[in-house]
Amino acid sequence: MNHIARQFAILLGEGLKPLGIAPAQFPILLELWQKDGLSQQELVERADLKQATIANTLARMERDGLITREPNPDDARSRLIMLTEQARALQQQSTEIAKAINQTALSDLSADEKKLFLEMAAKIVARQQEMIAGAK
């Protein structure tokens, strides 16, 4: 599974490079495309990344014009991460790239094999989430 994830990351990086999106930025963008205006801590929890990783990636995204940081009206100590128009404009194309990578990777499997693989992967992910929750 590690090998699959590494290869996906390589392919995703190559696919997103022309759009100016780094692979580390993609999970953050996915979360913000679902719900714009999250705090940095919410992104840590939702993207399941370390605080330092998020902080460094957000700094790069801000520098690249993908996000802005706005004051949080509910908490003066935190800032809300907001997508720019530039980032919003990249959503459809970048998610299509990721979907195409997955579709191509699964293209040699029959419909039944794909279904079984995705069901088994979902069970593994659910179990790992339980393990992580139990470790906290």
Split at pLDDT 50, 70, 90, the class of 7 is: very high
Can you give the residue ranges of every domain in the chain? 2-105, 110-136
- List all residues 6 or more positions away from 100 whose beta carbon is below 8 Å from its beta carbon: 15
pTM, rounded to two decimals: 0.86
Structural fold of domain 2-105: Arc Repressor Mutant, subunit A (1.10.10)
Helix runs in 1-136, H state only: 2-16, 26-34, 40-47, 51-63, 85-89, 91-105, 111-135
pLDDT tens track for 39-96: 999 999 999 899 999 999 999 999 999 999 999 999 989 999 999 999 999 999 999 9
Structure tokens belonging to residue 3? 């090998």
